[in-house]
Amino acid sequence: MRYRYTAIILCIVITLLELVYWFSLDFKFKVDLSWTDIISESFILLFNIVLIVVILRARLSDLVFWPLFLGFVLLFFSGVPDLIDEITQIDSLFLSAQENIGYILGMLMMTLGFYLWGEEYRLANHRLLQSEKKYKQLSITDSLTGLYNSGYFFNVLSSEIALARRYQLSLSLIVMDIDDFKSHNDRYGHIEGDKVIAAMGHEIKAVLREIDKPFRYGGEEFVILLPRTNLYTTYTIAERIRKAVLAIEFEPKPGEVVKKSVSIGVAELTEEDLPQLLVARADAAMYLAKRQGKNRVVSLTSEEHMQIA
**Which are the catalytic amino acids?**
220
- Taking phi first (over 0 means left), then psi (-120 to 50 degrees means alpha), and beta for anything else, what does residue 294 get? left
For residue 298, report the phi and psi dihedrals to the nearest 5 degrees.
-125, 135
